[in-house]
C-alpha cells in the first residue's frame, strides 16, 4: 500500500471518528433534559444567603517576595506550604502565621507544591521538568538550606501539578507539559506508570495543567489539559484514559474532585467552571460568570467546601467567586471585599476540616479566611 493510500485511509478514518463523536455528543445532549440547578429549582430549593461577615479574612501571611503560584494544606489542618516566583517554598503555621521552613529551591521557576499525607515532606515542580522532594525533618546544610532528599526525573516538559497519593508518603502523581501524567515511587525515585502513551484516542494531545486524586478511591485521578479536555485515569491501566470529558472551549487550567468522589469540577480559560459525573461521563452543571460583555476572564483555581455545597473559583481579573453549586448562583465575591488581595488569586485550598480557606495571590501574600457567625463549616 502506498503512502498516499495510507494517508487517504487515515483521513477517512479520522472523519468517521469525528462524525461518531459528534453524533455521540448530540445523543448525550438529547438525554440531558436538565442540569443540577434546573432540577434543584424544580424541587423548590433556594440559594444560600451569604454576607461579607460570613467569610472573613482572619490572617495575612507575608514573607514571599514574588508571585505566589501554588499552596497546599496538611491533613492536620494547621500548616500550609506555598510556592512562589521568588524561588522558595515556605511552610507556615496557619494558626500563628509563623514560618517554620523557608526552603530555597534548586530551580526558581516553581509552578506547583504539595504536602505529603503525614506532613513530614513537601514536593514541588516547575520549569526544570523535575519534581523535588524535601524531608522537613532533615538537617540544613552549612549554608542553612534544606537539602533535596529526592529528585524525580523523567518528564520531558515542565511539571505543572503534583499531588501525593492519599494515606501514604511513598507515591506521588505529577502532570506535565509533555502531555503525560506519571505515578512515581518516591522511595526508589522511579516511574511506576506513565499515563498517556500508547493509544492516541485515550491520551492528552497537549500540556497537562492539573491533576486531582480521588480521596475515596486513590486508584482514580483526573487530569486537565490545554487540549480542552479532562480525563479520568485508573492507575492500574496506564495505556489509556478510562473516560474523556468534553465541554470546555479553552485550556482546562484546574481539576478538583468533589468531596464524594463521584464527581469533579474544572476551571478553564473559557471563563467557566463545570461539574462532571465520573460514572456517566455527563456534564452536570456549567457555572457561567455574571458578566454581560464578551471579555470573560479565565478561571485559574478552584476548590470545593467540605460538603460540596460551595465552589470557590479564582479568576485572572482578581475576582474570587463563591458559588452555590446546587443553584449555580454566586453568593459572594471575595475579590470585592476590602480585605481581599491586591492582585489576582492564583491558588486556593480548604483546610482538611473545611473550617478555613487559604488563598494565594500575585500580590505575594496568602490570606486565611474563616467562616464567621453561625457558619462554622459548610
Q: Kindly indicate the confidence band of residue 101, based on its pLDDT and cuts at 50, 70 and 90.
A: very high
Q: Is the pLDDT of residue 158 over 60?
A: yes
Least confident span in 108-112, 326-330, 334-338 = 334-338
Q: Tell me, what's the pLDDT at 19?
A: 86
pLDDT tens per residue, range 275-304: 999 999 999 999 998 876 678 899 999 999
SS3 18: helix
Q: What DSSP state is assigned to residue 10?
A: H
Report whether 159 contacts 131 (CB < 8 A).
yes
Q: Tell me, what's the pLDDT at 295?
A: 81
Q: Tell me, what's the pLDDT at 168?
A: 84
Give the number of C-alpha atoms closer than 13 A to the C-alpha of residue 49, restricted to the C-beta side.
Answer: 2
Q: Is the pLDDT of residue 376 over 70?
A: no
Rounded to an integer, the average pLDDT of 175-179 is 95
pLDDT tens per residue, range 60-98: 999 999 999 999 999 887 899 999 999 999 999 999 999
User: What percent of the chain clears pLDDT 90, i.e. is strictly above it?
Assistant: 69
More confident residue, 140 or 226: 226
Q: Tell me, what's the pLDDT at 9?
A: 86
Q: Is the pLDDT of residue 38 over 90?
A: no
Q: Which residues, in sequence order, are CB contacts of 151 under 8 Å at separation 6+?
A: 130, 131, 132, 133, 189
More confident residue, 25 or 116: 116
Q: Tell me, what's the pLDDT at 292?
A: 63
The angle formed by the CA atoms of residues 231, 311 and 270, to the nearest 5 degrees, is: 55
Q: Tell me, what's the pLDDT at 183?
A: 97
* Closest residue by Cα to residue 310 from 277, 275, 338, 335: 275
Joined grid coordinates for residue 330: 454566586
Q: What DSSP state is assigned to residue 109?
A: -
* Closest residue by Cα to residue 179 from 156, 206, 145: 206
Give the Cα separation of 367 and 58 in Å (integer): 8
Q: Tell me, what's the pLDDT at 293?
A: 65
SS3 37: helix
Question: Which residues on adjacent β-strands are paired with residue 345?
Answer: 361
Q: Tell me, what's the pLDDT at 10?
A: 83
Q: Tell me, what's the pLDDT at 373?
A: 55
The mean pLDDT of the chain is 91
Q: Is the pLDDT of residue 252 over 90?
A: yes
pLDDT tens per residue, range 355-372: 999 999 999 999 999 987
Rounded to an integer, the average pLDDT of 260-285 is 95
Look up cell 508571585; give the residue: 67
Q: Tell me, what's the pLDDT at 18?
A: 79
Rounded to an integer, the average pLDDT of 150-178 is 95
Give the Cα separation of 69 and 71 in Å (integer): 7
Give the Cα separation of 293 and 106 in Å (integer): 43
What is the value of pTM for the model shown?
0.90
Least confident span in 139-148, 168-177, 201-210 = 139-148
Amino acid at each position: 500500500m502506498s503512502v498516499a493510500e495510507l494517508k487517504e485511509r487515515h483521513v477517512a478514518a479520522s472523519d468517521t471518528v469525528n462524525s461518531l463523536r459528534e453524533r455521540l455528543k448530540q445523543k448525550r445532549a438529547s438525554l440531558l433534559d436538565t442540569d443540577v440547578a434546573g432540577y434543584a429549582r424544580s424541587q423548590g430549593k433556594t440559594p444560600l444567603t451569604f454576607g461579607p461577615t460570613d467569610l472573613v479574612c482572619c490572617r495575612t501571611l507575608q514573607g514571599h517576595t514574588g508571585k505566589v503560584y501554588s499552596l497546599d494544606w496538611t491533613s492536620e489542618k494547621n500548616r500550609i506550604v506555598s510556592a512562589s516566583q521568588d524561588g522558595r517554598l515556605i511552610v507556615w503555621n496557619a494558626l500563628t502565621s509563623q514560618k517554620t521552613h523557608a526552603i530555597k529551591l534548586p530551580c526558581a521557576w516553581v509552578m506547583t507544591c504539595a504536602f505529603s499525607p503525614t506532613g513530614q515532606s513537601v514536593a514541588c515542580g516547575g520549569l526544570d521538568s523535575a519534581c523535588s522532594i524535601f524531608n522537613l525533618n532533615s538537617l540544613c546544610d552549612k549554608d542553612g538550606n534544606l537539602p533535596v532528599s529526592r529528585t524525580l526525573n523523567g518528564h520531558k516538559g515542565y511539571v505543572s501539578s503534583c499531588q501525593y497519593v492519599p494515606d501514604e508518603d511513598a507515591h506521588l502523581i505529577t502532570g506535565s507539559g509533555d502531555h503525560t501524567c506519571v505515578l512515581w515511587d518516591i522511595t526508589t525515585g522511579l516511574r511506576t506508570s506513565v499515563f498517556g502513551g500508547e493509544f492516541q484516542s485515550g491520551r492528552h494531545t497537549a500540556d497537562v495543567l492539573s491533576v486531582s486524586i480521588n480521596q475515596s478511591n486513590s486508584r482514580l485521578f483526573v487530569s486537565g489539559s490545554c487540549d480542552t479536555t479532562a480525563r479520568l485515569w485508573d492507575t492500574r491501566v496506564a495505556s489509556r484514559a478510562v473516560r474523556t470529558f468534553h465541554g470546555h472551549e479553552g485550556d482546562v487550567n484546574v481539576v478538583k474532585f468533589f468531596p464524594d468522589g463521584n464527581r469533579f469540577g474544572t476551571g478553564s480559560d473559557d471563563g467557566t467552571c463545570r461539574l462532571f459525573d465520573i460514572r456517566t461521563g455527563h456534564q452536570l452543571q456549567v457555572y457561567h460568570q455574571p458578566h454581560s460583555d464578551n471579555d470573560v476572564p479565565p478561571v485559574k483555581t478552584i476548590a470545593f467546601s467540605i460538603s460540596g455545597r460551595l465552589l470557590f473559583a479564582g479568576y485572572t481579573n482578581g475576582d474570587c467567586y463563591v458559588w452555590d453549586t446546587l443553584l449555580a448562583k454566586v453568593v459572594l465575591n471575595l475579590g470585592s471585599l476590602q480585605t481581599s488581595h491586591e492582585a489576582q488569586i492564583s491558588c486556593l485550598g480548604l483546610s482538611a476540616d473545611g473550617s478555613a480557606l487559604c488563598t494565594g495571590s500575585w500580590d505575594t501574600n496568602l490570606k486565611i479566611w474563616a467562616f464567621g457567625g453561625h457558619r462554622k463549616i459548610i
